[in-house]
Structure 1
């Protein structure tokens, strides 16, 4: 009997669980004459640019580093699937994320995240994106290149379609502006480019000469 025949025989034996296997576990039929079943996943809806960035950086399905903040949040809110809740099905607009291994919460039993738990996971992903964008763009904007071209090149490098480069540019611009309005200048203070780069002049401060209060 071939491996493929064995596989379908097993599916017949656990027919009531097939929808779970099809939706929550990625199955690879045969590699080096062995069955390999990949990790259990959950699905989350993200903006297209976030999904593309994650796939480019961490694969599809997405696998966060073992000790990452994202995995810590996922493990914290994992629970057993309520009996009345049907397993999730893969859809084009959803992003599959691998549930991290845990002795305290084995993924085969703990594989459910509620709406608020997924919102918390999404927030950690957005924070990670902003950190990546800010750290790399802060260095790139020191070069003699306009912001629009720099953002477009950054998106291309990170697997984000041109259709979303303007969305990313606006996100970066809002981040920088929110600080500059409070007197915190995180970019260049003297340069000026033609594509909306603000010009700031930082005046030299003097030491505090007030006598201390006794």
Structure 2
């Protein structure tokens, strides 16, 4: 199925676009080493093996595989986001996709994290029957992250997303953590240079409708 193939293409390329571990600052390296005690780093070959084109069901977190997105510093803290995706593309029902982003922070407060989950609509009519993002203290769903801020509500807010397909939702989750300066344009360029046709994957997302003049077309 075309959309699953597109999602796979984007996801397996993602580790190659991140800052190399050898180039981390001292603070970034210390944070990464602490995170690595519980979260495995996903490389491209591991994702290619996990996401089988003939069986469109996979769960990165269940295999302890996370893409270590590019770390950054702000507000006196060092941040390192991790990303994991679970997908189920059954032939007779609408696909279910979950994107977890765990934003780790190291600073005067020690090591903490916020866990974000981007979800496709519930399969049955309910409170969250729309594309949405919500906070969670679990990442993945089956166990609590010991660094997660404990008071975060796991139900509200449930923030509607500018997405009509799981693929748009996935792209939106990446955009949300690469939106400053030239970061967004850079990740677009990387995917395009790898032969990925973003324009064919998105319809009328806000990234295209509201882009700044300096941003290249999708």
TM-score, normalising length: structure 2? 0.26
* Larger of the two Rg values belongs to structure: 1
**Which protein has greater RCO, CA pairs closer than 8 Å, 6+ apart?**
1
The structure richer in helix per residue is: 1
The structure richer in strand per residue is: 2
TM-score, normalising length: structure 1? 0.27
